[in-house]
A and B are shown apart, each in its own frame.
Chain A
Amino acid sequence: MSKPTLPIDDEYRYGFTTDVEQDILPPGLNEDVIRAISRKKEEPDFLLEWRLKAYRAWREMEEPHWAQLRMEPIDYQAISYFAAPRRERVKSMEEVDPMIRETFQKLGIPLEEQKVLAGVAVDAVFDSVSVATTFKEKLAEYGVIFSSFSEAAREHPDLVRKYLGTVVSYRDNFFAALNAAVFSDGSFVYVPPGVRCPIDLSTYFRINALNTGQFERTLIIADEGASVSYLEGCTAPRRDTNQLHAAVVELIARDRATIKYSTVQNWYPGDAEGRGGIYNLVTKRGRVGTDARISWTQVETGSAVTWKYPSCILEGDRAVGEFYSVAVTNHHQQADTGTKMIHLGRDTSSTIISKGISAGQSDNAYRGQVYVGRKARNARNYTQCDSLLIGGGCGAHTFPYIDVHHASATVEHEASTTRIGEDQLFYLRQRGLSTDDAVGMVVNGFAHEVMKELPMEFAVEARKLLGITLEGAVG
């Protein structure tokens, strides 16, 4: 075993790989592969059957093609659908492979509980499996279940069976179907009725192995009157080839429950010429019950291609949905992100704040839908999406769909696109800031409304990421 290799430059500082003994399935996808994954995870039968149904559905589906996105074709038979560090299913933190521990250290995610960022429980997912979940005992005192998905499937099969696929069905779309067939791990959270989860929960995803796809699946249930704040972070090594990340996140906020879901997505974006990088094709959706609330906050700085629309189905009366998003693209990155707010219940309300920042030759699109159904009396939506352009080679696009079927609805949409203020940059530089720092500061200010929604532990890292992503964007 050799030391992890660090990248030569610092452009993408999470770009190193870790040399651990891997348990990898050969590339290719068929029913035997799915059975093998299920067997490795010692899954209950219902889950294997569900996977196979998803696989059969996926085979009948057509891969979507989006006019706006430039993507290399994906060869689904060239991907390995399972990669795991050899020493799986650790009993305690000490058993985690020291190389992996070091990896997460380097990412700033210490696994030793005593060093864990104050009050945040961490589930670390390394390639296909969860390597460690911290703070488990403490959470158990409250009845909160926070574990890897595999563990939940073994130990809480009834809960998994009851909720899995109830928000994002395996037929939902091509990538959701693929995920349902082959997902290898992810996080599972259950917060019992009336319980306010005492600490923030966090998952850190890491793609390490070459030619693997990462297909994690996250399922979070806040039972009646419960609340939880969940944080998700992602990184991957630099690779010259594109890697696929097709995740599914299902949130269930039952009556009077609250779920706050925050993401800092920093998958490897590819190099300055657009070689390599992660294809981040993700389905995230939540069901929001009566008097319940789901709030999505995302800071998207990584990935070669991002395609995700964290959405809320506001099915209960007075349900609230929120979407706060910052997406930064530089070089040849492409981000197509937004949300769907589906108003079905009465007196439901939603807020969408989207800030897109484009630089280099990148493309950054907001795509979103506000739908007010026939029975959604007194639905309210406020949407604001602003785009900031840095340099003349990039694109900023806004594609809102507003579909209203009830007279009592109030829907407001505002959007603007402007270039970064040269007078602002001059002012900051006149006070001694470098151009990069001035850009970072203006961009952070532009994104402030969203950044302030992030939990403190994430905000600092996210601020830095915005600056780093745009280094050199203004020459």
Chain B
Amino acid sequence: MALDWLGAVPEGGPEGLRARRAAAVAHLAEHGLPGRKDEAWRDTPRRAILAGRPGAPRPVEVPVLAGVTRVVVGEDAGGAGASWLRPWRGAPPAGLFDEATPEAPVEPGVEAVNLALAAAGVDVDLPAGTDGGVLHLAHAGVAARHRLRLGAGSRLVVVEHHLGGGGLRSAVSRVEVGEGAALTWLQLVDLDAGTHLLGRVAAAVAAGGRLVARSLLLGGGLLRAEFPVTLAGAEAAADLGGVGIAGGDDARDHLTLVEHRGDRTRSEQRFRYVLDERARGVFNGLVRVVPGVAGIEAHQGARGILLSDEAEVHHRPQLEIRADEVACTHGAAIGGLDEEALFFLRARGLSAEDAARLVLRGFAFEVLDGWPEDAGRAWAEAALGRRLGQGGS
């Protein structure tokens, strides 16, 4: 299978890295991206990627947030003196590519693409009890692979920011949230038209730890964000939220897998989609409760609004439960704009267009709940508003 769609695979680096890259490329040459038969890719229009011919990244100006640690991935060493932050380029931190086991099978899909392409990233090792503040990870072109380890009781806010354009983007983050630590992960994807993203944040949360993640899939072609999260220790918690907005032939695709492995672990998921023209929204979510754990609470909800008769939405809110002391719910709702709300607003004097815009805004902005002011919330709001104006009525 031709690999033109993948673009240029970086060369050089340590031997282990080269071996893993070769394995990934071999895998992709043989299997490509997973197809309809793979449950995790059933509704993902991978053709958008496979038909693509990645070009050079468009130079883009990366905005600056006051008082925030910023790394432009692949460009600067950044860190401004933070000892726990080590950006890498060329030679990754040991273990990040599983290079000790070069023969290990390559995980298909996002992981395979990232193994093949990743050429830069950060290695964060936040000591116990440290408040790392806000870390702005700007992705302007280079495929990234990050590792973040949060020590016990530490805190960090990460803004995973994707901007600019030029073919296929990829970012994979391996995250360990230590005991009692708190990580807020804010993914803001606002790429040029025709630029695709295959992203993944794989997190393991230790006892008493907490992960809050928000994923805004706004500009770009096919944007896929995966959030496999393991709640490994007792009372670990995850709160995941996302919104996808698209028009044209674009697609917004979230995959979550929240695995409850500790007692009294809790998870909450809330995803929203606004789709116009021929766009597609996919929510593929799974809550898994393993045998022998107790006191589990999990809630999962997905909602979609279709603005065009040609748009489509695919929701798969799944529960896989093997323990009995659980309270799990999920819900999904798909429809057009809330007619009652529209009527109410028009009765108060708003035009139909303004009413629709306001209803959509309320629907999508709810996901920003939990996005701190000092972590680029204004960017998120502006980008969301801009997309709704465009993709909306």
Q: Do A and B touch, yes or no (CB under 8 Å, in the complex)?
A: yes
Task: State the Cβ distance, A245 to closest chain B Cβ, in Å.
Answer: 27
Task: State the Cβ distance, A402 to closest chain B Cβ, in Å.
Answer: 4
A404 engages B333 (CB within 8 Å):
no
B321 engages A387 (CB within 8 Å):
yes
The 8 A CB mask of B304-346 against A (1 = contact, 0 = none) is 1011111111111111111111111111111110000000000
Residue B248 interfacial (CB < 8 Å): no
* The residue from B310, B314, B329, B335 contacting A416, defined by CB atoms under 8 A apart: B329
Task: State the Cβ distance, B259 to closest chain A Cβ, in Å.
Answer: 14
> Which residues of the other chain, B, contact A394 by a CB distance below 8 angstroms?
322, 324
Describe A's contact surface by its main secondary structure.
Answer: strand
Residue B13 interfacial (CB < 8 Å): no
Task: State the Cβ distance, A155 to closest chain B Cβ, in Å.
Answer: 44
**Which parts of A419-433 form the interface with B (CB within 8 Å)?**
419
> Which residues of the other chain, A, contact B43 by a CB distance below 8 angstroms?
403
**What is the bound-complex CA distance between A405 and B308, given in angstroms?**
9
Task: State the Cβ distance, B321 to closest chain A Cβ, in Å.
Answer: 5
B316 engages A419 (CB within 8 Å):
no
B326 engages A419 (CB within 8 Å):
yes
> Which residues of the other chain, B, contact A409 by a CB distance below 8 angstroms?
306, 334-335
Task: State the Cβ distance, B261 to closest chain A Cβ, in Å.
Answer: 15
B334 engages A418 (CB within 8 Å):
no
A401 engages B331 (CB within 8 Å):
no
B317 engages A411 (CB within 8 Å):
no
**What is the bound-complex CA distance between A400 and B315, given in angstroms?**
8
A412 engages B324 (CB within 8 Å):
no
B334 engages A399 (CB within 8 Å):
no
> In this complex, what residue of B is CB-closest to A399?
B318
**What is the bound-complex CA distance between A389 and B336, given in angstroms?**
35
Task: State the Cβ distance, A400 to closest chain B Cβ, in Å.
Answer: 6
A414 engages B320 (CB within 8 Å):
no
A419 engages B325 (CB within 8 Å):
yes
Residue A286 interfacial (CB < 8 Å): no
Residue A393 interfacial (CB < 8 Å): yes
Residue B59 interfacial (CB < 8 Å): no
The 8 A CB mask of B155-180 against A (1 = contact, 0 = none) is 00000000000000000000000000
**Which parts of A386-410 form the interface with B (CB within 8 Å)?**
387, 389-410
Residue A59 interfacial (CB < 8 Å): no
B324 engages A392 (CB within 8 Å):
yes
Task: State the Cβ distance, B39 to closest chain A Cβ, in Å.
Answer: 9
Inter-chain contact total with CB atoms closer than 8 Å: 113
B321 engages A389 (CB within 8 Å):
yes
A398 engages B309 (CB within 8 Å):
no
Residue A70 interfacial (CB < 8 Å): no
* The residue from A374, A403, A417 contacting B326, defined by CB atoms under 8 A apart: A417
Task: State the Cβ distance, B2 to closest chain A Cβ, in Å.
Answer: 28
Which of the listed residues B311, B317, B325, B334 has the most CB atoms from chain A within 10 Å of its own CB? B334
**What is the bound-complex CA distance between A392 and B320, given in angstroms?**
14
**Given A394-B324, A411-B334, A415-B331, A374 contacting B317 (CB threshold 8 A):** no
Residue B291 interfacial (CB < 8 Å): yes
Residue A106 interfacial (CB < 8 Å): no
Residue A413 interfacial (CB < 8 Å): yes
B315 engages A398 (CB within 8 Å):
no
A401 engages B314 (CB within 8 Å):
yes
Which of the listed residues B319, B322, B323, B335 has the most CB atoms from chain A within 10 Å of its own CB? B319
Residue B292 interfacial (CB < 8 Å): yes
**What is the bound-complex CA distance between A116 and B330, given in angstroms?**
45
B309 engages A408 (CB within 8 Å):
yes
> Which residues of the other chain, A, contact B308 by a CB distance below 8 angstroms?
407
**Which parts of B92-111 form the interface with A (CB within 8 Å)?**
none
> In this complex, what residue of A is CB-closest to B334?
A411
> In this complex, what residue of B is CB-closest to A366?
B319
> Which residues of the other chain, A, contact B316 by a CB distance below 8 angstroms?
399-402
> Which residues of the other chain, B, contact A417 by a CB distance below 8 angstroms?
319, 321, 326-329
A395 engages B320 (CB within 8 Å):
yes
**What is the bound-complex CA distance between A393 and B324, given in angstroms?**
8
Task: State the Cβ distance, A356 to closest chain B Cβ, in Å.
Answer: 10
* The residue from B292, B304, B326 contacting A404, defined by CB atoms under 8 A apart: B304
Which of the listed residues B316, B320, B333 has the most CB atoms from chain A within 10 Å of its own CB? B320
**What is the bound-complex CA distance between A409 and B336, given in angstroms?**
7
**What is the bound-complex CA distance between A246 and B76, given in angstroms?**
64
> Which residues of the other chain, B, contact A395 by a CB distance below 8 angstroms?
320-322
> In this complex, what residue of A is CB-closest to B293?
A392
**What is the bound-complex CA distance between A409 and B315, given in angstroms?**
14
> Which residues of the other chain, A, contact B335 by a CB distance below 8 angstroms?
409-411
B317 engages A412 (CB within 8 Å):
no
> Which residues of the other chain, B, contact A390 by a CB distance below 8 angstroms?
324
B332 engages A413 (CB within 8 Å):
yes
**Given A389-B321, A412-B333, A407 contacting B291 (CB threshold 8 A):** no
> In this complex, what residue of B is CB-closest to A359?
B324
A402 engages B309 (CB within 8 Å):
no
**What is the bound-complex CA distance between A392 and B327, given in angstroms?**
13
> Which residues of the other chain, A, contact B317 by a CB distance below 8 angstroms?
398, 400, 413, 415
The 8 A CB mask of B40-73 against A (1 = contact, 0 = none) is 0011000000000000000000000000000000
> Which residues of the other chain, A, contact B333 by a CB distance below 8 angstroms?
411-413
Task: State the Cβ distance, A49 to closest chain B Cβ, in Å.
Answer: 33
A408 engages B314 (CB within 8 Å):
no
> Which residues of the other chain, B, contact A396 by a CB distance below 8 angstroms?
319, 321
Task: State the Cβ distance, B317 to closest chain A Cβ, in Å.
Answer: 6
> In this complex, what residue of A is CB-closest to B326?
A417
* The residue from A392, A399, A403 contacting B312, defined by CB atoms under 8 A apart: A403
> In this complex, what residue of B is CB-closest to A396?
B321
The 8 A CB mask of B18-44 against A (1 = contact, 0 = none) is 000000000000000000000000110
**Given A398-B319, A402-B315, A415-B319, A407 contacting B330 (CB threshold 8 A):** no
> Which residues of the other chain, B, contact A414 by a CB distance below 8 angstroms?
329-331
B315 engages A413 (CB within 8 Å):
yes
**Besides the known contacts A389-B324, A398-B319, 9 further A-B residue pairs in the complex with CB atoms under 8 A apart:** A374-B310, A389-B321, A389-B323, A392-B292, A395-B321, A402-B334, A405-B310, A407-B307, A412-B332
Q: Could you pull out 21 A-B pairs where Cβ atoms are within 8 angstroms?
A: A374-B309, A374-B310, A390-B324, A392-B323, A392-B324, A395-B321, A398-B319, A398-B330, A400-B332, A402-B314, A402-B316, A403-B312, A407-B336, A409-B334, A409-B335, A410-B335, A411-B332, A412-B334, A414-B329, A417-B319, A417-B329
- For the complex of A and B, 6 pairs with smallest distance between CB atoms: A407-B306, A389-B324, A419-B324, A402-B315, A413-B332, A411-B334
